[in-house]
Amino acid sequence: MRSLRTGVIFCSCNNAIKLDFDRLKQIIQERYHPETIILSKTLCLGNEKENLLKMLNEQNYTRILIAACSENIFQGIFPQNILVPSETILEVVDLQEECKPHSSELGLTKAVAMIGASLFKLEKLKPLDKIQQEIEAPVAVIGNGVSLLRVVENLYNLGIRILVISPGTIEETTHPEAGTNNYAGTRVKLKQKFQKAKKVEILEQINDVHVSGHIGEFHVQTHKGEEITTHTAGLLVFASDGEEYKPLDLSQYGYGRFEQVKTLGEIYGELQEIKTLQDQNIIIANCIGSRDETLGRPYCSAYCCDQGINLARELTLKGANVTICYMADVRSLFFKEEEYRQARMDGVEFLRAGLGDVDADTGSDRLKVTIEDTLSGKILEKCADKVILSCALLASNFLRDVAQRLELEIKDGGFLKELYSKLKATETKLPGVFVCESVVQPLPLAELLKSADAVAFKVLKSLQTKYLRTNATAQVNKDLCVGCELCVKYCPRQAINTIMEDDQLKVEVDTTICYGCALCQTLCLTGAIQLVNYEDEMLTGQIKVAIDAWKSLTSTPLIMNIACRECGYCAINHGHLSGIEIPEHTLTFQVPCAARVSPLDLLTTLNMGADAVLVISCPEENCHMQKGSHIARLHVKFVKNILQQIGQNPNRVEIAQLCAAEADKYTSTLKALEAALEGS
């Protein structure tokens, strides 16, 4: 183990950063005493970079601080560069964006504070262990329908062993679009292909599935009647198309009472047999059973508008007069808009109307249909030969039950909760458990197939990389642990388990599952559980160094930003890069998740001299760490109540929940915080 030696490199980014680097070097040397400080002009380019790295290596530096521009430019240099030993730890300070205006005294003050805090951090940082989990096939794919077959086909073509588990037969699906484009024939052919494959094991007509274990070693127990079998799988995939709702409980629509009333999926199954519909009046009603809070299905089923239009055009070709009743809007987007325009040209009537009662028309074999025109408020009556219901897509009850046993979260309508809807829509909070997006939300078949392809890619990547990560994870000091189980209860990934040691209840962290949100750390009453490199003394120590530097160089009020490394910090960065005018008297610290910021951290920051603290997190509904933003909001609310009770201005602590693009919201929150400070 080499002794700790710290080298500091300033880079002016080819004079784009207008700081007084000579004065900055003098202040840093006097205050923090690093072994060396080097000034570079273009560190990220060619020979200058190579020469500097070689020199630092020869002089045995184990810690390197680069104060320049974006850290993304320099992260690729360390530790992959062959000139730098793997145990060298890098820290980057973004002078380019964080220290504007560069030429001002305040810009220099911010640079000193940030560099000082980073040097303190470098002294304490520990090298992170690589977390590696051996993952071996088979991959267990659970579900049925087109999405399952697509996942299995992709994995089969990649030569991966697969265990397929289905509550019925694997080709079965009630997705309304499955009767189009000869999907039925394709499904049967794929099943026959897999039945002959040596690397594919198919279990059908399974009544129940119980899953335990973790990534790399899932134990899958299947129940088929009295027969129980157990299998081992490295990864799990949930794949189902969704099930078409049959509106038997909505008797006003006549489904189940009149043979002329069909669902869209049912009519597609019969369409090839219908030769002519000359002069028949047909009503297609969208959103039956969906977009309805009273039924517990507030979501859009995604396929209704497009497939209703496609069906209407096919029916008009057979001679029918077609009316489509839609709710508030027709959701045919992008290139599908052309289909909508063409349908209107073909004579399809579109009514913004809700379907009312469907009854027999007295004196004929037709139907009498009541419609409420939501634009005029008028009640209309139409005679129809057929009524076609575009019904809600329902979540798979079978997969929901399996997921609940794994303690995966369930959303409205019984759909599974994805890890993060924008960037990790095919992942869940349990590493190694993937979902086709049709298990997460209703999807048309075209999108469903894309999602199945994405899942197959994720599986392949997991098998090839052996689940290698280097992010910080929580560690437990069992001497301090009192076995209260708060961390076990609230860990969003179920990464913490209880154990008995010397007849005492303790906890331990599964580092293959822990993603380092640090929620457990803020809940722990004894400080027994700490996130590596984000320990209590690490964060408060950095903040103290920064505040001390700030107060010694300026009397300007200080707003301390503590931002999550996901949306929070990205929103700040976006603000800098987009040229939005941002209040200058701020310093920003990154944490893995806003949940890491405890009430004690907030109060300590104020007590050390910060005039205000702004916590910046993801939006609650899209938190990368699931519960982090919610917990952070509760922490801020709690501290505001304390400040109120002790006679302090509660507005000194605020939270901004932002997506990465909401730089303007970040700026407006800062300005409101400024105004609150001035008024106190």
pLDDT digits (tens, 9 = 90+) for 212-233: 888 888 999 999 999 999 999 9
Is pLDDT at 679 greater than 90 in this prediction? no
pLDDT grade for 81, boundaries at 50, 70 and 90? very low
pLDDT grade for 82, boundaries at 50, 70 and 90? very low
Neighbouring residues of 632: CB distance < 8 A, sequence distance ≥ 6: 593, 594, 595, 597, 615, 617, 655
The pLDDT assigned to 550 comes to 96
The pLDDT assigned to 468 comes to 64
The pLDDT assigned to 273 comes to 82
The pLDDT assigned to 72 comes to 66
pLDDT digits (tens, 9 = 90+) for 37-48: 988 888 777 677
pLDDT grade for 650, boundaries at 50, 70 and 90? very high
Is pLDDT at 520 greater than 70 in this prediction? yes
For the chain, the average pLDDT equals 88
Q: Between vectors from CA 266 to CA 367 and to CA 442, what angle results, nearest 5°?
A: 115
Q: Which residue has the higher pLDDT, 62 or 673?
A: 673
The pLDDT assigned to 138 comes to 93
Neighbouring residues of 25: CB distance < 8 A, sequence distance ≥ 6: 10, 37, 39
Q: What DSSP assignment string belongs to 145-170?
A: HHHHHHHHHHHHHTT--EEEE-SS-T
Is pLDDT at 276 greater than 60 in this prediction? yes
b/e map 224-262, b = 16+ CB within 10 Å: eeeeeeeeebbbbbbbbbbbbbbbeebeebbbeebebbb
Selection from 89-93, 238-242, 470-474 with the highest mean pLDDT: 238-242
- β-strands 496-501, 504-509 pairing: antiparallel
Residues of the chain above pLDDT 70, percent: 94
Is pLDDT at 414 greater than 50 in this prediction? yes
The pLDDT assigned to 469 comes to 67
Q: What is the average pLDDT across 268-280?
A: 86
- Poorest-pLDDT segment among 106-120, 497-511, 567-581: 567-581
Q: What is the average pLDDT across 513-536?
A: 92
Here the tokens at position 252 are: 């006003």
Is pLDDT at 181 greater than 60 in this prediction? no
pLDDT grade for 1, boundaries at 50, 70 and 90? very low
The pLDDT assigned to 80 comes to 43
The pLDDT assigned to 79 comes to 46
pLDDT digits (tens, 9 = 90+) for 118-149: 999 998 888 777 777 778 889 999 998 889 99
- Poorest-pLDDT segment among 278-292, 306-320, 394-408, 457-471: 457-471
The pLDDT assigned to 399 comes to 92
Cα–Cα distances (Å) from 214 to 329, 430, 493, in that order, read 44, 8, 11
b/e map 9-43, b = 16+ CB within 10 Å: bbbbbeeebebebeebeebbeebbebeebeebeeb
- The strand ranges marked E within 503-657 are 504-509, 529-531, 559-564, 586-591, 612-617, 653-657
The pLDDT assigned to 91 comes to 86
pLDDT grade for 98, boundaries at 50, 70 and 90? confident
193 in Cβ contact with 205 (< 8 Å): no
- Poorest-pLDDT segment among 128-132, 361-365, 498-502, 641-645: 128-132
pLDDT grade for 3, boundaries at 50, 70 and 90? low
Neighbouring residues of 277: CB distance < 8 A, sequence distance ≥ 6: 315, 318, 319, 320, 385
Q: What is the average pLDDT across 641-664?
A: 93
- Poorest-pLDDT segment among 8-12, 20-24, 650-654: 8-12
Residue 325, amino acid: C
Is pLDDT at 85 greater than 60 in this prediction? no
Nearest to 417 by CA among 452, 441, 399: 441
pLDDT digits (tens, 9 = 90+) for 557-609: 999 999 999 899 988 888 887 777 788 889 999 999 999 999 999 999 999 99
b/e map 356-374, b = 16+ CB within 10 Å: bebeeeeeeebbbbbbbee
Domains, the chain, in order of start with CATH, read: 1-127 (3.40.50), 139-242+395-465 (3.50.50.60), 246-392 (3.50.50.60), 474-531 (3.30.70.20), 535-680 (3.40.50.960)
pLDDT grade for 151, boundaries at 50, 70 and 90? very high
The pLDDT assigned to 215 comes to 87
- Poorest-pLDDT segment among 87-91, 167-171, 538-542: 87-91
